[in-house]
Amino acid sequence: MIFKKSILNNNLLLFACTLFFVVVILYFEIRVLNLEGTNDKLVSEVAIVRKQILVNNEASIPSPIIGGGAGGGALVEVPNVNLRDRKDLVVIYNRVPKTGSTSFINVAYDLCRLNSYHVLHINVTGNMHVLSLANQARFAFNVSKWDSIKPALYHGHIAYVDFDKFGVNLKPVWINLIRRPLDRLVSYYYFLRYGDDFRPYLVRRKHGDKVTFDECVEKKQPDCHPDNMWLQVPFFCGHSALCWEPGNKWALEEAKRNLISHYLLVGVTEEMEEFIRLLEVTLPSFFQGASKHYLSSKKSHLRRTVQKADPSPSTIKKIQDSKVWQMEQELYDFALAQFHFMRKRTLGLSASNKTSQFTTERSQQFMYEKIRPK
Ligand SMILES: *[C@@H]1O[C@H](CO)[C@@H](O)[C@H](O)[C@H]1NC(C)=O
Ligand SMILES: *[C@@H]1O[C@H](CO)[C@@H](O)[C@H](O)[C@H]1NC(C)=O
Ligand SMILES: *[C@@H]1O[C@H](CO)[C@@H](O)[C@H](O)[C@H]1NC(C)=O
């Protein structure tokens, strides 16, 4: 009897203890839930404040991780990748002559020390735009294996090189700028005759030739032949034979395909500021501070061809009747539409100045949540 009673007492004690612990656990559970609620509130509060700061400052602010990682129901922002995490990053800018590329690349040269990456010019012998197969292989191999120079931005007047072909591991990020084909031709025409204010001492190939572009078209001279415009298509098309055949339909299609699938961003000369701004928010490790720098040093960076006369309407009409102009223009329009699409998705209008468009980075459009196991 005594023995039984003690078991009963023990059971009662056990029950009491369990009850006590359940109550304690429940209490803490509620506390944690409350804390999480507070945390969620804080996170959304911070997001609102960040948004306001963004709108007010018209500038991007690096996104820190908020919400403390594997939060219960909290949204987790994803930070910008900094260069320490992208030591292997290689950007290639295969610049087309006379597209304003010097103004752009000067910004990269000015920023490279501050943002700690290298800039290299690819000097191709004899101003050729196509490399031999052996040279392409050497280039692809060197760029992918040369670790001590990374992260790096290469620039030069070469057609697109398909790195995949050479069995290398690196996939470079390609960028480019393109310009209205007739403007580019006229600019190049006068550049050969009068040079520019960048290296005024240099005597150019056609120095002393006073024939205007209109007269050249009138006399059907080779320098203003529409085939000279066939350059932006082959630069995007690459190293295949058909790419360099003026007016080739496959080349145009290939150029469009490469532009979409292998280029991170292709801007237009006419909208350089926005091109730089887009790069700044997309690849901040390279281009942080680029917009501000470009705007503040705009004058010193502008490279102008000297003595440029606009072509007459009849000259324009003649050029526009050519198949090569039409196809080059089609690529330009294609690139422009893509550029505007990306711009609209990426940049917002600044709130304080409605006239200066597309300067503010849109706030982050994706976040993580429900990260398990905790
Ligand atoms: C490329 O190298 C050649 C030979 O050294 C030199 O004459 C030329 O000026 C260089 N090109 C550029 C654009 O610097
Ligand atoms: C790539 O070429 C540069 C210049 O010649 C050279 O200094 C470097 O060692 C090369 N890198 C590799 C990995 O071959
Ligand atoms: C808005 O921006 C434009 C171009 O950047 C500038 O000229 C103008 O002064 C600015 N207006 C105001 C009110 O800040």
- Which ligand approaches the C-alpha of residue 168 most closely? 2
Match 């023990």 to its residue by tokens. 10
C-beta of 116 in contact with ligand 3 (< 6 A): no
d(CA 348, CA 359): 6
**Residue 146 confidence (pLDDT) above 50:** yes
pLDDT of 11 above 80: no
Ligand 3 pocket member 349 (CB < 6 A) = no
From the list 249, 235, 230, the residue with the least C-alpha distance to 328 is 230
Question: How far apart are alpha carbons 253 and 248 in whole angstroms?
Answer: 9
If we measure between CA atoms, which residue out of 68, 14, 80 comes closest to residue 285? 80
Q: What is residue 4's predicted lDDT score, i.e. its pLDDT?
A: 57
Give 303's DSSP letter: -
Q: Which two tokens stand for residue 349?
A: 């209008």
The verdict on the CB of residue 320 being under 6 Å from ligand 3 is no
Nearest residue (by CA) to ligand 2, atom 8, is: 146
What does the block give as tokens for 248? 């080739």
Which DSSP helix (H) or strand (E) runs through 311? none
Closest CA to 77 of 85, 68, 86: 68
**How close is the Cα of 138 to the center of ligand 2, in Å?**
10
- C-alpha dihedral over 271, 275, 277, 282, to 10 degrees? 160
Ligand positioned closest to the Cα atom of 359: 3
Kindly state the average pLDDT of the residues 25-41.
70
Q: Where are the alpha helices (DSSP H) in 58-74?
A: none
Nearest residue (by CA) to ligand 2, atom 1, is 142
What spacing in Å lies between the alpha carbon of 93 and ligand 3's midpoint?
A: 31
| Of 126 and 202, more confident | 126
Q: Is 145 a pocket residue for ligand 2 (Cβ < 6 Å)? A: yes
Q: Is the CB of 354 under 6 A from ligand 3?
A: no
CA 125–ligand 1 middle distance (angstroms): 8
Q: Note the pLDDT tens digit of each residue in 354-373.
A: 555 566 777 777 888 899 99
Rg of the chain's alpha carbons, rounded to an integer?
A: 30
pTM (2 decimals)?
A: 0.76
Ligand in closest contact with the CA of 355? 3
pLDDT in tens, 226-235: 999 999 999 9
CB of 149 shorter than 6 A to ligand 2: no
The answer on pLDDT for 252 being more than 50 is yes
Is the CB of 355 within 6 Å of ligand 3?
Answer: yes
Per-residue pLDDT tens digits for 169-179: 999 999 999 99
Cα of 287 vs centre of ligand 3, distance in Å, is 23
Nearest-atom index, ligand 3, CA of 354 = 1
| Structural domains of the chain ordered from first start | 90-361 (3.40.50.300)
- The answer, yes or no, to whether any atom of ligand 2 lies below 6 A from the CB of 198, is no
Q: Is 220 left (phi over 0), alpha (psi -120 to 50) or beta?
A: left
Atom of ligand 2 nearest to the CA of 147: 13
pLDDT of residue 61: 42
Residue 72 has pLDDT above 70, yes or no: no
CA of 168 to the centre of ligand 2 (A): 15
Catalytically annotated residues: 155, 157
Taking the centre of ligand 1 as the mean of its atom positions, its distance from the CA of residue 156, in whole angstroms, is 11
Which atom of ligand 3 approaches the CA of 353 most closely? Answer: 1
Alpha-carbon distances of 190 from 13, 198, 199, 204, 304, rounded to whole Å: 100, 14, 14, 10, 11
Spacing, Cα 148 to ligand 2 middle (Å): 9
Q: Which residues pair with 361 in a beta bridge?
A: 347
Tokens representing residue 314 in the block: 């009849």
Q: What is the number of the ligand 2 atom nearest to the C-alpha of 145?
A: 13
43, 47, 49, 52 alpha-carbon torsion, rounded to 10°: -170
Give the total residue count for the chain.
Answer: 374
Closest to 192 measured CA to CA, from 228, 231, 232: 228
**Tokens coding 242:** 């058909």
The pLDDT assigned to 50 comes to: 59
CB-ligand 2 contact for 138 (6 Å cutoff): no
Is there a contact between 361 and 348 (Cβ–Cβ < 8 Å)?
yes
Ligand 2 close to Cβ of residue 168 (< 6 A): no
> Given the CA of residue 143, which atom of ligand 2 is nearest to it?
1
Q: Whose CA is nearest to atom 6 of ligand 3?
A: 356
Q: At residue 60, does pLDDT exceed 60?
A: no
pLDDT at 70: 46
Residues 6+ apart with CB under 8 A from 243: 159, 233, 234, 237, 251, 254, 255
Q: How confident is the model at residue 47 (pLDDT cuts 50, 70, 90)?
A: low
Residue recorded with tokens 């690459």 = 238
* Separation of alpha carbons 202 and 195, rounded Å: 7
Computed over every residue of the chain, the mean pLDDT equals 84
Nearest CA to ligand 3 atom 12: 353
Other C-beta atoms within 10 Å of 166: how many?
A: 16
Which of the two residues, 216 and 363, has the higher pLDDT score?
A: 216
